[in-house]
Amino acid sequence: MLLGLTIRDVVLIDRLSLAFRPGLCVLTGETGAGKSILLDALGLALGRRAEAGLVRPGAEQAVVSAEFAVGPNHPAAAILAEAGITTDLSGSIIVRRTLAADGRSRGFVNDEPTSITLLRALGDSLVEIQGQGEQHGLFDPATHRDLLDALSEADTAILGTAWRAWRDARKAAEDAARTLAASRAEEDLLRHEHAELEALAPEEDEEDRLSARRLLLQNGERLGETISEAVGEIDGESGALAALARALRRLTRAADRAQGLLDGAVAAAERAATETEEALNALNAAAQALEIDPRALEQVEERLFSLRALARKRHWRG
């Protein structure tokens, strides 16, 4: 409730103090009597827009003070408590605004300096001005809950507890839904990876074996040529095996006349012939092993590259 309004140097007003009684108070007068100036002065004290034109010509500054009586549960009390400003024992609030001729203004609440933003918030909770072009409190969404609570017979504390429980339950349900969706996505991914593994069916150390086989196949043609040349050197008409046979026949015929001098040479020649024949057999076996399907290299590489592609896709390390 507005208790008093003190105005100094506002437009045409030099000094004016008004006191209001409890109940309905009416200010009347003809057009131009100054009613709008009183409302402008009250709006100035309540943090509304300040214009230098409100300062009375010739004055250094305009000053407006308004005193209000509020109860302990009034929204204004909560605003002051949050700002760290206390009311006096009577529960009254005095708001004051100074406006200099250059347009600078300062706000005070119970003689404590405050921001114009706080002054405006406090003013919105203390006064509602209704008229043509003015804001109506019923249009302000910030007032709707308090109005509903005031008219409702419900226990707002119980409603608040129930609302918070509903909010927490909804958040828990949303978290659970996200967790479930993530689990299902992970399950789908694991099933897909499992299907890829089953389709490829990799074996232990298979990549190493395939790499070695690939290297062998890549060098197969050159190895075949080398083996063929070595076989020719050993098994040809003038090869090592034929030469050893001829040398062994001559040594054997001469051994009877050598009185044992050639026995070691004969034995060594026989061993050389045997090992040379074993070497020839090994070369033939190697040559046979290299006689493979021309598509073998392509098949090995396809398998090897498939294994490596899957390993890269899954970030596996050998």
Residue ending a domain, among 142, 163, 188, is 142
pLDDT in tens, 228-251: 878 787 887 778 878 888 888 888
Residue 292 pLDDT: 63
Is 161 within the bounds of a domain?
no
Q: Cβ–Cβ contacts within 10 Å for residue 73, how many? A: 7
Residue 201 pLDDT: 83
Is 122 within the bounds of a domain?
yes
d(CA 241, CA 278) in angstroms, rounded, equals 11
Q: Is 20 within 8 Å of 69 (Cβ atoms)?
A: no
Residue 200 pLDDT: 81
- Residue 166: phi and psi, rounded to 5, are -65, -40
Residue 318 pLDDT: 46
Residue ending a domain, among 142, 157, 192, is 142
Total count of domains within the chain: 2
Instruction: Assess whether 135 and 210 both reside in one domain.
Output: no
Instruction: State the residue range of the domain holding 125.
Output: 2-142
* pLDDT averaged per 10 residues in sequence order, the chain, 318 residues: 88 87 82 80 85 85 89 81 72 86 87 87 81 61 75 78 93 94 92 85 84 76 77 78 82 80 84 86 80 73 83 66
Is 220 within the bounds of a domain?
yes
Residue 144 pLDDT: 78
Is 167 within the bounds of a domain?
no
Instruction: Assess whether 59 and 133 both reside in one domain.
Output: yes
d(CA 44, CA 8) in angstroms, rounded, equals 12
Residue 167 pLDDT: 95
d(CA 256, CA 73) in angstroms, rounded, equals 139
**Reported pTM:** 0.43
Is 114 within the bounds of a domain?
yes
Is 95 within the bounds of a domain?
yes
Instruction: Assess whether 211 and 92 both reside in one domain.
Output: no
- The CATH number that applies at residue 6 is 3.40.50.300
